[in-house]
Chains A and B, each alone.
Chain A
Amino acid sequence: MHIIENGNVAAALGVKLCRANVIAAYPITPQTPLTERLSEYVEAGEMKAEYIPVESEHSALAVCIAASSAGTRVSTATSANGLLYMHEQVQWAAGARLPIVMCVVNRAVGAPWNIWNDQQDSISQRDTGWIQMYCADHQQIIDTVIKAYWLAEKVSIPIMVCYDGYILSHTYMPFDVPDQEQVDAFLPPFRPDYALNPEDPANLNTVTLPDVRMDVHGELAHGYMEIRYLLQEEMRTTLAVAAEAEKRFTEIFGRGGDPYIEPYRCDDAEYVAVGLGSLTYQLRVCVDALRKEGINVGVMGVRFYRPFPDEAIANALKGKKGVIVFEKALSYGYEGALASDLKSALYEHLAYTGALPVVQNFIVGIGGRDIRTEELTQNLKAATQHRVSKEPAWIGLKL
Protein backbone atom coordinates (compact mmCIF):
# COMPACT_ATOMS: atom_id res chain seq x y z
CA MET A 1 0.00 0.00 0.00
CA HIS A 2 1.30 3.45 -0.91
CA ILE A 3 1.35 6.10 1.78
CA ILE A 4 2.76 9.61 1.99
CA GLU A 5 4.97 9.95 5.02
CA ASN A 6 8.41 11.16 6.03
CA GLY A 7 11.64 9.16 5.92
CA ASN A 8 11.73 8.49 9.65
CA VAL A 9 8.31 6.86 9.42
CA ALA A 10 9.53 4.79 6.46
CA ALA A 11 12.38 3.52 8.67
CA ALA A 12 10.08 2.88 11.64
CA LEU A 13 7.65 0.92 9.47
CA GLY A 14 10.56 -1.16 8.19
CA VAL A 15 11.67 -1.99 11.74
CA LYS A 16 8.08 -2.84 12.70
CA LEU A 17 7.60 -5.11 9.68
CA CYS A 18 10.84 -6.90 10.59
CA ARG A 19 9.42 -7.66 14.03
CA ALA A 20 12.34 -6.36 16.08
CA ASN A 21 11.95 -7.63 19.65
CA VAL A 22 14.08 -5.11 21.53
CA ILE A 23 14.41 -1.42 20.78
CA ALA A 24 16.81 0.81 22.69
CA ALA A 25 17.53 4.31 21.50
CA TYR A 26 18.25 7.78 22.79
CA PRO A 27 16.55 10.67 21.00
CA ILE A 28 18.65 13.07 18.95
CA THR A 29 17.59 15.37 16.12
CA PRO A 30 16.85 14.45 13.31
CA GLN A 31 16.46 10.82 14.40
CA THR A 32 13.96 11.61 17.21
CA PRO A 33 10.69 11.11 15.27
CA LEU A 34 11.86 7.60 14.30
CA THR A 35 12.34 6.42 17.88
CA GLU A 36 9.16 8.23 18.96
CA ARG A 37 7.24 6.33 16.33
CA LEU A 38 8.73 3.00 17.42
CA SER A 39 7.84 3.70 21.06
CA GLU A 40 4.27 4.45 19.93
CA TYR A 41 4.06 1.12 18.08
CA VAL A 42 5.21 -0.71 21.20
CA GLU A 43 2.88 1.26 23.48
CA ALA A 44 -0.11 0.57 21.21
CA GLY A 45 0.71 -3.14 21.09
CA GLU A 46 1.31 -2.98 17.34
CA MET A 47 4.83 -4.28 17.92
CA LYS A 48 5.52 -7.16 20.25
CA ALA A 49 8.76 -5.66 21.46
CA GLU A 50 10.34 -4.26 24.54
CA TYR A 51 11.25 -0.59 24.28
CA ILE A 52 14.09 0.09 26.69
CA PRO A 53 14.59 3.78 27.48
CA VAL A 54 18.22 4.59 28.15
CA GLU A 55 20.21 7.57 29.37
CA SER A 56 22.64 7.79 26.46
CA GLU A 57 23.55 6.44 23.04
CA HIS A 58 26.39 4.46 24.58
CA SER A 59 23.83 2.65 26.72
CA ALA A 60 21.43 2.27 23.79
CA LEU A 61 23.94 0.23 21.86
CA ALA A 62 25.09 -1.60 25.02
CA VAL A 63 21.49 -2.75 25.53
CA CYS A 64 21.30 -3.82 21.88
CA ILE A 65 24.56 -5.74 22.21
CA ALA A 66 23.25 -7.59 25.27
CA ALA A 67 19.84 -8.31 23.73
CA SER A 68 21.35 -9.43 20.44
CA SER A 69 23.78 -11.70 22.31
CA ALA A 70 20.73 -13.25 23.98
CA GLY A 71 19.35 -14.09 20.55
CA THR A 72 16.75 -11.38 19.93
CA ARG A 73 16.31 -9.13 16.91
CA VAL A 74 17.19 -5.59 17.96
CA SER A 75 16.85 -2.08 16.61
CA THR A 76 18.44 1.25 17.40
CA ALA A 77 18.97 4.56 15.66
CA THR A 78 21.00 7.70 16.11
CA SER A 79 22.60 10.72 14.47
CA ALA A 80 25.78 12.79 14.60
CA ASN A 81 27.24 13.20 18.11
CA GLY A 82 24.99 10.42 19.34
CA LEU A 83 26.74 8.03 16.98
CA LEU A 84 30.12 9.35 18.08
CA TYR A 85 29.16 8.83 21.71
CA MET A 86 28.46 5.14 20.98
CA HIS A 87 31.69 4.73 19.07
CA GLU A 88 33.26 2.29 21.55
CA GLN A 89 30.17 0.09 21.46
CA VAL A 90 30.00 0.41 17.67
CA GLN A 91 33.38 -1.26 17.42
CA TRP A 92 32.34 -3.84 20.01
CA ALA A 93 29.16 -4.84 18.19
CA ALA A 94 31.16 -5.56 15.04
CA GLY A 95 33.89 -7.50 16.82
CA ALA A 96 31.22 -9.51 18.65
CA ARG A 97 29.61 -10.24 15.25
CA LEU A 98 26.12 -9.21 16.33
CA PRO A 99 23.52 -8.64 13.57
CA ILE A 100 22.28 -5.30 14.90
CA VAL A 101 20.55 -2.95 12.46
CA MET A 102 20.96 0.72 13.28
CA CYS A 103 19.47 3.62 11.33
CA VAL A 104 21.88 6.52 11.10
CA VAL A 105 19.99 9.69 10.22
CA ASN A 106 22.89 11.63 8.79
CA ARG A 107 23.72 14.93 10.47
CA ALA A 108 26.78 17.15 10.83
CA VAL A 109 28.98 16.64 13.89
CA GLY A 110 30.05 19.34 16.37
CA ALA A 111 31.93 21.56 16.91
CA PRO A 112 30.51 24.00 16.10
CA TRP A 113 27.07 22.72 17.03
CA ASN A 114 24.87 22.06 14.02
CA ILE A 115 21.75 19.95 13.65
CA TRP A 116 21.52 19.89 9.85
CA ASN A 117 22.49 17.30 7.29
CA ASP A 118 25.84 16.11 6.08
CA GLN A 119 27.39 12.62 6.25
CA GLN A 120 30.45 13.15 8.41
CA ASP A 121 28.86 11.08 11.20
CA SER A 122 28.53 7.75 9.41
CA ILE A 123 31.58 8.23 7.20
CA SER A 124 33.68 8.70 10.34
CA GLN A 125 32.56 5.18 11.39
CA ARG A 126 33.78 3.64 8.15
CA ASP A 127 36.49 1.49 9.74
CA THR A 128 34.48 0.03 12.62
CA GLY A 129 33.58 -3.26 10.91
CA TRP A 130 29.94 -2.36 10.24
CA ILE A 131 28.26 -2.74 6.90
CA GLN A 132 27.05 0.65 5.66
CA MET A 133 24.13 1.03 3.24
CA TYR A 134 22.97 4.43 1.92
CA CYS A 135 19.43 5.36 0.85
CA ALA A 136 18.36 7.88 -1.78
CA ASP A 137 14.60 8.03 -1.09
CA HIS A 138 11.91 6.71 1.23
CA GLN A 139 11.30 3.54 -0.74
CA GLN A 140 14.96 2.71 -0.36
CA ILE A 141 14.81 3.45 3.38
CA ILE A 142 12.03 0.97 4.14
CA ASP A 143 13.37 -1.60 1.68
CA THR A 144 16.94 -1.26 2.93
CA VAL A 145 15.88 -1.79 6.56
CA ILE A 146 14.18 -5.03 5.54
CA LYS A 147 17.15 -6.21 3.45
CA ALA A 148 19.53 -5.19 6.22
CA TYR A 149 17.98 -7.50 8.82
CA TRP A 150 18.19 -10.46 6.46
CA LEU A 151 21.76 -9.67 5.45
CA ALA A 152 23.04 -8.86 8.95
CA GLU A 153 21.67 -12.13 10.32
CA LYS A 154 23.04 -14.08 7.36
CA VAL A 155 26.61 -12.83 7.80
CA SER A 156 26.57 -11.96 11.53
CA ILE A 157 27.75 -8.42 10.94
CA PRO A 158 25.92 -5.28 12.12
CA ILE A 159 24.55 -2.81 9.58
CA MET A 160 24.09 0.95 9.52
CA VAL A 161 21.20 2.02 7.30
CA CYS A 162 22.16 5.62 6.50
CA TYR A 163 19.79 8.29 5.20
CA ASP A 164 20.06 12.05 4.99
CA GLY A 165 18.71 14.01 7.94
CA TYR A 166 15.82 16.36 7.11
CA ILE A 167 16.22 15.99 3.34
CA LEU A 168 14.84 12.47 3.73
CA SER A 169 14.03 12.09 7.44
CA HIS A 170 11.59 15.03 7.61
CA THR A 171 10.43 15.24 4.00
CA TYR A 172 7.15 13.63 2.97
CA MET A 173 6.81 11.61 -0.20
CA PRO A 174 4.93 8.54 -1.38
CA PHE A 175 6.32 5.04 -0.91
CA ASP A 176 5.01 1.51 -0.87
CA VAL A 177 4.70 -0.24 2.48
CA PRO A 178 5.04 -3.99 1.90
CA ASP A 179 2.57 -6.43 3.41
CA GLN A 180 3.55 -8.19 6.62
CA GLU A 181 3.17 -11.53 4.82
CA GLN A 182 5.72 -10.49 2.20
CA VAL A 183 8.23 -9.43 4.86
CA ASP A 184 7.64 -12.64 6.83
CA ALA A 185 8.29 -14.65 3.67
CA PHE A 186 11.51 -12.74 3.08
CA LEU A 187 12.82 -12.58 6.63
CA PRO A 188 12.67 -15.74 8.75
CA PRO A 189 12.66 -15.47 12.56
CA PHE A 190 16.11 -14.77 14.04
CA ARG A 191 17.66 -18.05 15.16
CA PRO A 192 21.34 -17.44 15.94
CA ASP A 193 23.80 -20.33 16.14
CA TYR A 194 24.68 -19.23 19.63
CA ALA A 195 22.74 -17.21 22.18
CA LEU A 196 23.34 -16.44 25.83
CA ASN A 197 21.53 -18.90 28.05
CA PRO A 198 21.43 -18.62 31.88
CA GLU A 199 21.22 -22.43 32.08
CA ASP A 200 24.56 -22.71 30.34
CA PRO A 201 26.69 -19.73 31.38
CA ALA A 202 29.54 -18.60 29.15
CA ASN A 203 31.95 -15.72 28.76
CA LEU A 204 31.78 -13.83 25.49
CA ASN A 205 34.59 -11.72 24.07
CA THR A 206 36.77 -11.82 27.17
CA VAL A 207 40.52 -11.15 26.96
CA THR A 208 41.64 -12.88 23.79
CA LEU A 209 45.35 -13.49 23.51
CA PRO A 210 47.57 -12.37 20.67
CA ASP A 211 48.18 -16.01 19.76
CA VAL A 212 45.92 -19.04 19.43
CA ARG A 213 45.54 -21.31 22.46
CA MET A 214 43.77 -24.44 23.67
CA ASP A 215 40.37 -23.70 25.19
CA VAL A 216 38.86 -25.50 28.23
CA HIS A 217 37.57 -28.24 25.92
CA GLY A 218 41.03 -28.86 24.57
CA GLU A 219 40.17 -27.33 21.19
CA LEU A 220 42.36 -24.80 19.44
CA ALA A 221 40.71 -21.40 19.93
CA HIS A 222 41.22 -18.40 17.69
CA GLY A 223 43.52 -15.61 18.78
CA TYR A 224 42.46 -11.99 18.42
CA MET A 225 44.09 -11.81 15.00
CA GLU A 226 42.16 -14.79 13.62
CA ILE A 227 38.88 -13.32 14.86
CA ARG A 228 39.64 -9.99 13.21
CA TYR A 229 40.84 -11.67 10.00
CA LEU A 230 37.54 -13.50 9.77
CA LEU A 231 35.64 -10.23 10.17
CA GLN A 232 37.52 -8.84 7.17
CA GLU A 233 37.09 -12.02 5.13
CA GLU A 234 33.40 -12.22 5.83
CA MET A 235 32.90 -8.52 5.17
CA ARG A 236 34.33 -9.12 1.71
CA THR A 237 32.15 -12.19 1.05
CA THR A 238 29.16 -10.12 2.24
CA LEU A 239 29.17 -8.56 -1.24
CA ALA A 240 28.11 -11.89 -2.73
CA VAL A 241 25.53 -12.42 0.01
CA ALA A 242 24.15 -8.93 -0.68
CA ALA A 243 23.52 -9.98 -4.27
CA GLU A 244 21.56 -12.96 -2.95
CA ALA A 245 19.58 -10.64 -0.66
CA GLU A 246 18.73 -8.39 -3.60
CA LYS A 247 17.64 -11.33 -5.72
CA ARG A 248 15.39 -12.73 -3.00
CA PHE A 249 13.98 -9.29 -2.30
CA THR A 250 13.20 -8.68 -5.98
CA GLU A 251 11.43 -12.05 -6.24
CA ILE A 252 9.19 -11.37 -3.26
CA PHE A 253 8.59 -7.62 -3.47
CA GLY A 254 8.83 -7.10 -7.21
CA ARG A 255 11.38 -4.30 -7.07
CA GLY A 256 15.13 -4.14 -6.78
CA GLY A 257 18.18 -3.66 -8.91
CA ASP A 258 21.91 -3.68 -8.71
CA PRO A 259 22.70 -4.35 -5.05
CA TYR A 260 25.83 -2.20 -4.96
CA ILE A 261 25.41 0.75 -7.28
CA GLU A 262 22.57 2.69 -8.88
CA PRO A 263 23.69 4.04 -12.25
CA TYR A 264 21.65 6.59 -14.21
CA ARG A 265 22.44 7.39 -17.87
CA CYS A 266 25.94 5.95 -17.35
CA ASP A 267 26.14 3.50 -20.24
CA ASP A 268 27.13 6.00 -22.92
CA ALA A 269 28.44 8.65 -20.52
CA GLU A 270 31.97 10.03 -20.83
CA TYR A 271 31.78 11.53 -17.36
CA VAL A 272 30.08 10.06 -14.31
CA ALA A 273 29.15 11.79 -11.06
CA VAL A 274 29.33 9.57 -7.98
CA GLY A 275 27.94 10.03 -4.49
CA LEU A 276 26.02 8.58 -1.54
CA GLY A 277 22.38 9.11 -0.61
CA SER A 278 19.78 11.64 -1.74
CA LEU A 279 22.41 13.80 -3.44
CA THR A 280 22.71 11.22 -6.20
CA TYR A 281 19.02 11.66 -7.05
CA GLN A 282 19.40 15.43 -7.15
CA LEU A 283 22.35 14.91 -9.49
CA ARG A 284 20.01 13.10 -11.92
CA VAL A 285 18.32 16.44 -12.54
CA CYS A 286 21.75 18.00 -13.25
CA VAL A 287 22.57 15.13 -15.59
CA ASP A 288 19.31 15.60 -17.51
CA ALA A 289 20.03 19.33 -17.87
CA LEU A 290 23.59 18.75 -19.12
CA ARG A 291 22.48 16.02 -21.53
CA LYS A 292 20.23 18.62 -23.16
CA GLU A 293 23.38 20.71 -23.70
CA GLY A 294 24.99 17.72 -25.39
CA ILE A 295 27.30 16.81 -22.52
CA ASN A 296 27.55 13.03 -22.10
CA VAL A 297 27.29 12.67 -18.36
CA GLY A 298 25.67 10.21 -15.98
CA VAL A 299 25.42 9.68 -12.23
CA MET A 300 26.00 6.64 -10.07
CA GLY A 301 24.79 6.25 -6.51
CA VAL A 302 26.84 3.98 -4.25
CA ARG A 303 24.43 1.95 -2.11
CA PHE A 304 27.02 -0.10 -0.23
CA TYR A 305 29.92 1.84 1.21
CA ARG A 306 31.26 -0.96 3.43
CA PRO A 307 32.01 -3.55 2.26
CA PHE A 308 33.18 -1.40 -0.64
CA PRO A 309 31.95 -2.77 -3.98
CA ASP A 310 35.24 -1.90 -5.68
CA GLU A 311 34.84 -4.24 -8.63
CA ALA A 312 31.27 -3.19 -9.46
CA ILE A 313 32.28 0.46 -9.25
CA ALA A 314 35.42 0.07 -11.35
CA ASN A 315 33.57 -1.94 -13.99
CA ALA A 316 30.87 0.71 -14.23
CA LEU A 317 33.51 3.41 -14.68
CA LYS A 318 35.72 1.57 -17.14
CA GLY A 319 36.45 3.66 -20.22
CA LYS A 320 35.09 6.88 -18.74
CA LYS A 321 37.08 10.07 -19.21
CA GLY A 322 36.29 11.45 -15.79
CA VAL A 323 34.64 10.66 -12.48
CA ILE A 324 33.31 13.46 -10.32
CA VAL A 325 32.81 12.50 -6.68
CA PHE A 326 30.39 14.66 -4.67
CA GLU A 327 30.64 14.22 -0.90
CA LYS A 328 29.00 15.56 2.22
CA ALA A 329 31.98 14.53 4.36
CA LEU A 330 35.73 14.44 4.16
CA SER A 331 38.81 12.97 5.74
CA TYR A 332 40.31 16.18 7.10
CA GLY A 333 43.82 16.66 5.86
CA TYR A 334 43.27 14.89 2.56
CA GLU A 335 40.00 14.57 0.65
CA GLY A 336 36.59 12.91 0.67
CA ALA A 337 36.80 9.31 1.88
CA LEU A 338 34.64 8.07 -0.99
CA ALA A 339 36.94 9.78 -3.51
CA SER A 340 39.96 8.03 -1.99
CA ASP A 341 38.23 4.65 -1.93
CA LEU A 342 37.01 5.09 -5.49
CA LYS A 343 40.48 6.01 -6.76
CA SER A 344 41.84 2.93 -5.05
CA ALA A 345 39.24 0.77 -6.81
CA LEU A 346 40.01 2.36 -10.19
CA TYR A 347 43.73 1.80 -9.72
CA GLU A 348 43.23 -1.80 -8.64
CA HIS A 349 40.93 -2.77 -11.48
CA LEU A 350 41.80 -0.42 -14.34
CA ALA A 351 45.50 0.46 -14.02
CA TYR A 352 46.37 -2.46 -16.32
CA THR A 353 44.29 -0.89 -19.09
CA GLY A 354 46.57 2.14 -19.06
CA ALA A 355 43.52 4.38 -19.10
CA LEU A 356 42.41 5.65 -15.71
CA PRO A 357 39.58 8.20 -15.51
CA VAL A 358 40.47 11.60 -14.05
CA VAL A 359 38.88 12.00 -10.61
CA GLN A 360 37.56 15.32 -9.33
CA ASN A 361 36.31 15.63 -5.75
CA PHE A 362 33.64 18.14 -4.69
CA ILE A 363 32.54 18.81 -1.12
CA VAL A 364 28.92 19.99 -0.78
CA GLY A 365 26.19 20.64 1.75
CA ILE A 366 28.38 20.58 4.83
CA GLY A 367 26.32 21.37 7.94
CA GLY A 368 23.14 21.54 5.88
CA ARG A 369 24.26 24.28 3.48
CA ASP A 370 21.63 24.38 0.72
CA ILE A 371 22.71 22.39 -2.31
CA ARG A 372 21.29 24.38 -5.20
CA THR A 373 20.62 22.28 -8.24
CA GLU A 374 21.75 24.99 -10.64
CA GLU A 375 25.04 25.42 -8.77
CA LEU A 376 25.53 21.65 -8.67
CA THR A 377 24.92 21.49 -12.43
CA GLN A 378 27.44 24.24 -13.18
CA ASN A 379 30.12 22.54 -11.09
CA LEU A 380 29.46 19.18 -12.68
CA LYS A 381 29.66 20.84 -16.09
CA ALA A 382 32.95 22.55 -15.22
CA ALA A 383 34.45 19.22 -14.18
CA THR A 384 33.63 17.78 -17.62
CA GLN A 385 35.53 20.63 -19.29
CA HIS A 386 38.71 21.00 -17.30
CA ARG A 387 40.45 19.93 -14.10
CA VAL A 388 38.79 22.06 -11.42
CA SER A 389 41.41 21.44 -8.74
CA LYS A 390 43.64 18.77 -7.26
CA GLU A 391 42.34 19.55 -3.80
CA PRO A 392 38.65 18.87 -3.10
CA ALA A 393 36.62 21.86 -4.33
CA TRP A 394 33.94 23.20 -1.96
CA ILE A 395 30.68 24.13 -3.68
CA GLY A 396 28.84 27.18 -2.40
CA LEU A 397 31.60 28.29 -0.06
CA LYS A 398 31.25 31.97 0.85
CA LEU A 399 34.76 33.09 1.79
Chain B
Amino acid sequence: MNKDFIEIRWHGRGGQGAITAAKIVAGAAFVSGYAGVVMAPSFGTERRGAPVMTSLTISREKIYDLSPIETPDIVVILDHLLLKEADVTHGLKPGGIIVLNTPMAFESYHFKDYKLATADITAISVEAGLPHGMVNTGIIGSLEKAANLLGIDILIQGIENEFTKRKPEKNALAAKLAYERTVAGG
Protein backbone atom coordinates (compact mmCIF):
# COMPACT_ATOMS: atom_id res chain seq x y z
CA MET B 1 0.00 0.00 0.00
CA ASN B 2 1.24 3.46 -0.92
CA LYS B 3 1.25 5.31 2.37
CA ASP B 4 1.54 8.72 0.76
CA PHE B 5 -2.01 8.47 -0.60
CA ILE B 6 -4.52 6.23 1.15
CA GLU B 7 -8.20 5.85 0.35
CA ILE B 8 -10.48 4.33 2.97
CA ARG B 9 -14.19 3.67 2.56
CA TRP B 10 -16.31 3.21 5.66
CA HIS B 11 -19.56 1.25 5.68
CA GLY B 12 -21.88 1.53 8.63
CA ARG B 13 -25.46 2.18 9.55
CA GLY B 14 -26.97 5.59 10.14
CA GLY B 15 -26.36 6.44 13.80
CA GLN B 16 -23.42 4.05 14.23
CA GLY B 17 -20.87 6.84 14.12
CA ALA B 18 -18.88 5.92 11.02
CA ILE B 19 -18.46 9.61 10.22
CA THR B 20 -17.13 10.38 13.69
CA ALA B 21 -14.69 7.46 13.40
CA ALA B 22 -13.46 8.65 10.01
CA LYS B 23 -13.14 12.17 11.40
CA ILE B 24 -10.96 10.94 14.28
CA VAL B 25 -8.65 9.12 11.85
CA ALA B 26 -8.59 12.24 9.64
CA GLY B 27 -7.53 14.40 12.58
CA ALA B 28 -4.84 11.94 13.64
CA ALA B 29 -3.53 11.80 10.08
CA PHE B 30 -3.39 15.59 9.87
CA VAL B 31 -1.38 15.96 13.08
CA SER B 32 0.88 13.14 11.85
CA GLY B 33 1.91 15.30 8.92
CA TYR B 34 -0.59 14.42 6.21
CA ALA B 35 -1.40 17.88 4.78
CA GLY B 36 -4.32 16.52 2.77
CA VAL B 37 -7.22 14.83 4.51
CA VAL B 38 -10.70 14.78 3.05
CA MET B 39 -13.66 13.00 4.60
CA ALA B 40 -16.75 12.94 2.40
CA PRO B 41 -19.96 11.30 3.63
CA SER B 42 -22.49 9.93 1.16
CA PHE B 43 -25.38 12.34 0.96
CA GLY B 44 -29.11 12.35 0.82
CA THR B 45 -30.22 8.90 1.96
CA GLU B 46 -28.76 8.72 5.45
CA ARG B 47 -31.17 7.76 8.19
CA ARG B 48 -30.93 5.71 11.34
CA GLY B 49 -30.26 2.04 10.60
CA ALA B 50 -29.86 2.40 6.85
CA PRO B 51 -26.55 1.48 5.22
CA VAL B 52 -24.35 4.59 4.97
CA MET B 53 -20.93 5.24 3.56
CA THR B 54 -18.21 7.75 4.05
CA SER B 55 -14.89 8.06 2.32
CA LEU B 56 -11.62 9.23 3.80
CA THR B 57 -8.61 10.16 1.72
CA ILE B 58 -5.26 10.79 3.39
CA SER B 59 -2.49 12.37 1.38
CA ARG B 60 0.92 13.90 1.96
CA GLU B 61 -0.20 16.84 -0.19
CA LYS B 62 -3.32 19.00 -0.34
CA ILE B 63 -6.20 17.18 -2.04
CA TYR B 64 -7.91 18.97 -4.91
CA ASP B 65 -10.12 16.15 -6.16
CA LEU B 66 -13.17 15.79 -3.91
CA SER B 67 -15.01 13.32 -6.14
CA PRO B 68 -16.08 10.01 -4.54
CA ILE B 69 -13.29 7.47 -4.17
CA GLU B 70 -13.68 4.57 -6.57
CA THR B 71 -10.77 2.26 -5.76
CA PRO B 72 -10.19 2.23 -1.99
CA ASP B 73 -7.13 0.67 -0.39
CA ILE B 74 -9.13 -0.24 2.69
CA VAL B 75 -12.80 -0.79 3.49
CA VAL B 76 -13.97 -0.63 7.09
CA ILE B 77 -17.26 -2.39 7.89
CA LEU B 78 -18.90 -1.56 11.21
CA ASP B 79 -21.60 -4.24 10.95
CA HIS B 80 -20.99 -7.70 9.42
CA LEU B 81 -24.63 -7.91 8.27
CA LEU B 82 -23.81 -5.16 5.73
CA LEU B 83 -21.89 -7.80 3.76
CA LYS B 84 -25.29 -9.06 2.59
CA GLU B 85 -26.85 -5.64 2.03
CA ALA B 86 -24.17 -3.62 0.26
CA ASP B 87 -21.44 -4.28 -2.25
CA VAL B 88 -18.81 -3.39 0.32
CA THR B 89 -15.78 -4.60 -1.65
CA HIS B 90 -16.76 -2.65 -4.78
CA GLY B 91 -13.63 -1.16 -6.34
CA LEU B 92 -11.36 -2.39 -3.54
CA LYS B 93 -7.83 -2.60 -4.91
CA PRO B 94 -6.40 -6.12 -5.31
CA GLY B 95 -4.55 -6.89 -2.07
CA GLY B 96 -6.72 -4.31 -0.32
CA ILE B 97 -7.71 -4.61 3.32
CA ILE B 98 -11.14 -5.40 4.74
CA VAL B 99 -11.64 -4.43 8.40
CA LEU B 100 -14.73 -6.14 9.72
CA ASN B 101 -16.64 -5.97 12.99
CA THR B 102 -18.13 -9.43 13.37
CA PRO B 103 -19.02 -11.93 16.09
CA MET B 104 -18.09 -14.73 13.68
CA ALA B 105 -14.69 -16.42 13.54
CA PHE B 106 -12.03 -15.08 11.20
CA GLU B 107 -11.88 -18.48 9.49
CA SER B 108 -15.54 -18.33 8.48
CA TYR B 109 -14.79 -15.68 5.82
CA HIS B 110 -13.09 -16.21 2.48
CA PHE B 111 -12.25 -13.09 0.50
CA LYS B 112 -10.21 -13.83 -2.57
CA ASP B 113 -7.55 -11.20 -3.38
CA TYR B 114 -8.08 -9.24 -0.16
CA LYS B 115 -6.56 -9.16 3.31
CA LEU B 116 -9.14 -9.58 6.04
CA ALA B 117 -9.00 -8.34 9.62
CA THR B 118 -11.77 -9.15 12.09
CA ALA B 119 -12.69 -8.48 15.69
CA ASP B 120 -15.88 -8.70 17.69
CA ILE B 121 -15.94 -4.96 18.33
CA THR B 122 -19.51 -5.08 19.60
CA ALA B 123 -18.51 -7.39 22.49
CA ILE B 124 -15.16 -5.67 23.07
CA SER B 125 -16.85 -2.29 23.39
CA VAL B 126 -19.30 -3.59 26.00
CA GLU B 127 -16.33 -5.08 27.86
CA ALA B 128 -14.70 -1.64 27.76
CA GLY B 129 -17.79 -0.22 29.45
CA LEU B 130 -19.56 1.33 26.48
CA PRO B 131 -23.28 0.92 25.77
CA HIS B 132 -24.18 -2.00 23.50
CA GLY B 133 -23.79 -1.08 19.82
CA MET B 134 -21.20 1.66 20.23
CA VAL B 135 -18.48 0.39 17.92
CA ASN B 136 -17.02 3.42 16.21
CA THR B 137 -14.02 3.80 18.50
CA GLY B 138 -13.20 0.10 18.73
CA ILE B 139 -13.12 -0.21 14.96
CA ILE B 140 -10.32 2.36 14.85
CA GLY B 141 -8.15 -0.03 16.85
CA SER B 142 -8.86 -2.82 14.37
CA LEU B 143 -8.11 -0.53 11.43
CA GLU B 144 -4.73 0.40 12.89
CA LYS B 145 -3.84 -3.24 13.62
CA ALA B 146 -4.75 -4.25 10.07
CA ALA B 147 -3.18 -1.36 8.17
CA ASN B 148 -0.45 0.03 10.45
CA LEU B 149 -1.22 3.58 9.35
CA LEU B 150 -0.50 6.11 12.05
CA GLY B 151 0.34 4.29 15.26
CA ILE B 152 -2.24 3.42 17.93
CA ASP B 153 -1.12 6.13 20.36
CA ILE B 154 -1.99 9.08 18.16
CA LEU B 155 -5.36 7.50 17.32
CA ILE B 156 -6.16 6.98 20.99
CA GLN B 157 -5.21 10.60 21.61
CA GLY B 158 -7.64 11.56 18.83
CA ILE B 159 -10.39 9.45 20.40
CA GLU B 160 -9.87 11.06 23.80
CA ASN B 161 -9.98 14.52 22.25
CA GLU B 162 -13.19 13.75 20.34
CA PHE B 163 -14.95 12.22 23.35
CA THR B 164 -13.72 14.69 25.98
CA LYS B 165 -17.10 14.76 27.71
CA ARG B 166 -18.37 11.36 26.66
CA LYS B 167 -16.45 8.54 28.37
CA PRO B 168 -13.01 9.23 26.88
CA GLU B 169 -11.28 6.43 28.87
CA LYS B 170 -13.82 3.78 27.89
CA ASN B 171 -13.72 4.75 24.24
CA ALA B 172 -9.93 4.70 24.32
CA LEU B 173 -9.97 1.30 26.04
CA ALA B 174 -12.30 -0.09 23.36
CA ALA B 175 -9.83 0.93 20.66
CA LYS B 176 -6.90 -0.47 22.63
CA LEU B 177 -8.58 -3.82 23.25
CA ALA B 178 -9.68 -4.04 19.62
CA TYR B 179 -6.12 -3.28 18.53
CA GLU B 180 -4.81 -6.12 20.68
CA ARG B 181 -7.43 -8.67 19.70
CA THR B 182 -7.90 -8.08 15.98
CA VAL B 183 -7.13 -11.14 13.90
CA ALA B 184 -5.49 -10.10 10.64
CA GLY B 185 -4.71 -12.40 7.75
CA GLY B 186 -2.04 -12.12 5.10
Which residues of A line the B interface, CB within 8 A? 2, 4, 30, 115-116, 166-168, 170-174, 278, 281-282, 284-285, 368, 370-373
Contact = CB atoms under 8 A, between A and B. Distances in A.
Contact of B66 (A2, A167, A372): A167
Contacts of B39: 4, 171-173
Interface stretch (B23-31, B79-87, B126-134, B174-182): B23-31
Contact of B26 (A4, A170, A282, A372): A4
B43 A285 contact: no
Nearest to B30: A174
Contacts of A370: 67-68
A285 B38 contact: no
Contact of B43 (A170, A173, A174): A170
Given A116-B43, A174-B30, A285 B65 contact: yes
Nearest to A282: B65
Contacts of A372: 67, 70
B37 interface: yes
The 9 closest A-B pairs by CB, nearest first: A172-B39, A281-B64, A285-B65, A171-B40, A166-B43, A284-B64, A173-B38, A282-B65, A4-B27
Interface string B113-135: 00000000000000000000000
B64 A285 contact: yes
Nearest to A376: B67
Nearest to A281: B64
Question: How big is chain B's contact interface, by range?
Answer: 20 to 34
Interface of B: 23, 26-27, 30, 35-41, 43-44, 63-68, 70
A303 to B, nearest CB: 16
Contact of A281 (B26, B30, B44, B65): B65
A266 to B, nearest CB: 15
Contacts of B63: 173
A278 B66 contact: yes
A372 B70 CA distance: 9
Given A2-B30, A172-B26, A371 B67 contact: yes
Given A4-B23, A4-B27, A170 B41 contact: yes
Contacts of B38: 171-173
A282 B30 contact: no
Contacts of B30: 2, 4, 174
Contacts of A116: 43-44
A188 B112 CA distance: 63
Contacts of B66: 167-168, 171, 278, 281-282
Nearest to B66: A167
A237 to B, nearest CB: 33
Nearest to B68: A370
A30 to B, nearest CB: 8
